[in-house]
Structure 1
Amino acid sequence: MSSYSFLAGCYDGLTYDVDYAAWADYIEAHFSKAPLPGRTVLDLACGTGSLTRELALRGYEMIGVDQSPEMLAQAAEKNRGIAPVEPIFLCQPMERLDLYGTIDACVCCLDSVNYVTDPKKLARAFQRVHLFLMPGGLFLFDINTPEKLEGLDGQVFLDETEDAYCVWRAEFSKRSRMCSYFMDIFRLDRETGQWDRGEELHRERAYTIAQLTAMLEEAGFQDIRTYGELTMRPPKPGEQRVFFTARKEAQTV
């Protein structure tokens, strides 16, 4: 079963501890320093649209892109009727991003970059983001660091709510630099009272800061900076999550 096809229906419940308001605060802190005000914002790999919603409620014109139809169905329902501007959602893989116009900023959060396990596809995704950004526009994303992914090897986790139960184990391959998550998911059907079972396999690639910086530079980005998790300081040794910001060159008069 493909990633998120079964998990989508219970994803929000199982990730209840993600503080999307804090993530939005952090994004806005970077927007406030940007030379180009971020009004039209792309949420790349938007998932069920929780961050999209948080930013839309703060007045941003949001475009959500994800390659999972099941996750986008949840996102569209969650964001229906939001004022002042209801978000637009598109079903596309990152490397084939195709928008109807330009954007002021792009965010790609919750280690979605790690999910692009083919470096060539990730390089193309960065190029597509650069293409649609306005001059001076900001690209912000985060990654699970190699240290974090290596540390997950052999661990087993349990997440549960009243109507969902997920057991997952992680395996990290030093040869492929890939972390695989094997998930068994049980989801309650409230109409029948029965539990449905699904299995999913998720993979994340361990990218280094140097690798991603080189990809961003190759795509044409400038002023590339890295930060510790939800902070404005540089990453510390052993950091579990690192944030990147990069800018498209501003036009000169």
Structure 2
Amino acid sequence: MTVFDTSYANQYDAMYGDKDYVAECDLVAAAARNNGVAMGRVLDIGCGTGGHSLEWARRGISCVGVDMSPSMIALAEEKARTLPEKAQLDFLVGDARNFQAEGPFDVATMMFAVLGYMNSNEAVLAALRNVRCHLRTGGLFAFDCWYGPAVLGVRPEDRVRVVEGAKGQTIRSASTAIDSFRHLAHVTFKLWTVDGDRYLGHAEETHDMRYFFPQELELLLEVAGFGPPVIRSFPAGGEPNDDSWNIFCSAVAV
């Protein structure tokens, strides 16, 4: 099944309208400062509809956003038309494992659990090695992902969310099945769009999300050409615990 096809992509911004892209970019910028990395050029991998990429451009930072979904990139490009002409922002459709962009970059990001879409070790390493190829030595890689101890300890619950939009109401359900042997969470999203008593459409996608543990992240990053990662609870900060569903990681290219 296609992930982030047109139907889902069109509801994406409404579903995640409360996501704080500014604060997340601040977090990446702080990690760069802490490692002495100047943010001249940023590579935003898995950019979706451009939330982080647009924020980097607003800050006067050159950015390239990459996403495997043509529908998401089309929405990002549409939003980018509101930026000043001097903004340095480009988008391209590509797979995290093998896309090619003109580098090198100072900072590369994979925010909103993008790395988790790489389900196998081979896929994770291919993506990490591709990130390393696009970064200058000493550049920073920053990403967030699902934290294994919390996923297995807390366990995801079935959820329903209702969002009011300009074209009616969107109802989204999410149900998750855990594959603890393969470190995967199979998340099935179902979306219904209605306007009063009128049915406008339905979409369904299953996203296979990998969750990670600190020791495996350190090993995978080392094999791909990075130094030891700094791992913090996300977005709260501090050392992760068994309730920290998400973690933020940063590692320097060596």
TM-score in terms of structure 2 length = 0.90
CA deviations over 1:85-107 (Å, ceiling 9, x no partner): 24111111111031122111101
Equivalenced residues, count = 247
Distance in 2, matches of 1:127 and 1:109, equals 17
- Take 1:166 and 1:221, find their aligned partners in 2: how far apart are those partners? 38
Residue identity opposite 2:160 in structure 1: L
Equivalent in the alignment of 2:56 = 55
Partner residue, 2:176 = 170
Distance 1:110 1:89 in 2: 18
Letter in 2 for 1:33: N
How many percent identity over aligned positions? 25
Is 1:206–2:191 an aligned residue pair? no
Instruction: Tell me if the contact between 1:97 and 1:129 (Cα under 8 Å) persists in the aligned partners.
Output: no
User: Does the 8 Å contact 2:153/2:242 carry over to 1?
Assistant: no
Q: Is the 8 A contact 2:150 2:241 kept in 1?
A: no
Residues in 1 aligned to 2:24 and 2:143: alpha-carbon distance in whole angstroms: 11
Matches within 5 A, 1:89-238: 89-150=91-152, 153=155, 155-162=157-164, 163-187=169-193, 194-230=199-235, 233-238=238-243
Q: Deviations over 1:227-250 (max 9, x none)?
A: 12235533334422111111123x
Give SS of 2:149's match: helix
Q: Which structure 1 residue ranges, 5 or more long, are not aligned?
A: none
Name the CA distance, whole Å, in 2 between partners of 1:230 and 1:215.
Answer: 23
Distance of 2:150 and 2:213 partners within structure 1: 12
Three-state SS of the structure 2 residue aligned to 1:221 is coil
The answer to whether the 8 A contact 1:38-1:105 is kept is yes
Residues 157 and 151 of structure 1: CA distance in aligned 2, closer, same or farther (over 3 Å): farther
Q: Pairwise CA RMSD of aligned residues?
A: 2.0
- Shift of residue 148, structure 1, vs aligned partner: 3.5
Q: Secondary structure at the match of 1:228?
A: strand
Q: Conserved in 1, the CA contact under 8 Å of 2:170 and 2:193?
A: yes
Q: Secondary structure at the match of 2:227?
A: strand
Deviation at 1:219, TM superposition (A): 1.1
Aligned mates of 2:212, 2:194 — CA distance in 1: 36
1:36 Cα deviation from its structure 2 partner: 2.9
Deviation of 1:223 (Å): 4.2
Q: Which amino acid aligns with 2:56?
A: L
Equivalent AA in structure 2 for residue 78 of structure 1 = K
Per-residue CA deviations over 1:186-218 (Å, capped at 9, x if unaligned) read 2358xxx65111111111012211111111101
Q: Which residue of 2 aligns with 1:246?
A: 251
Q: Quick one: structure 1 residues 186 and 49, their matched pair in 2 at CA, closer, same or farther if it must change by over 3 Å?
A: same
- When the two structures are superposed, what TM-score results if normalisation uses the length of structure 1? 0.90
Amino acid at match of 1:196: G
**Letter aligned with residue 176 of structure 2:** A
